[in-house]
Amino acid sequence: MISFIKSCARITKNVILTLILSCSVIFMVNNRDVIKLKFFPLPFEIETRAFVIMIAFFLSGLAFGVIICGTSLIKKSIVGVKNRAEIKKLEKKLQEKDQNQ
């Protein structure tokens, strides 16, 4: 039963990834227009395709989100490790107390 669930999850993941990839390709093909980016106070001007800019903003937002969420996840995992260590210590004390009685 568990292997069936795992295989269904794997198939679902592959289907979703395939859909995301095909949507990305369609997005890139539809947004091939060349645009100019001007950085007003600076004398820079970049000429690039529209999808490159959109994907760059998406990836920077994704990276920012991972950094923000990652720090809280790391803190929570550290607290979890400390709590598990404390639980093991308390279980040992309880076992020693039961053995002494």
Res 100: pLDDT:
78
Record the tokens describing residue 52, joined without a space: 């490159």
Res 82: pLDDT:
92
Instruction: Provide mean pLDDT across the span 64-84.
Output: 87
Res 71: pLDDT:
82
Q: Give the pLDDT confidence of 77-98 residue by residue, as tens digits.
A: 889 999 999 999 999 999 988 8
Q: In the predicted model, is pLDDT for residue 39 greater than 80?
A: yes
Res 12: pLDDT:
93
Res 37: pLDDT:
85
pTM: 0.52
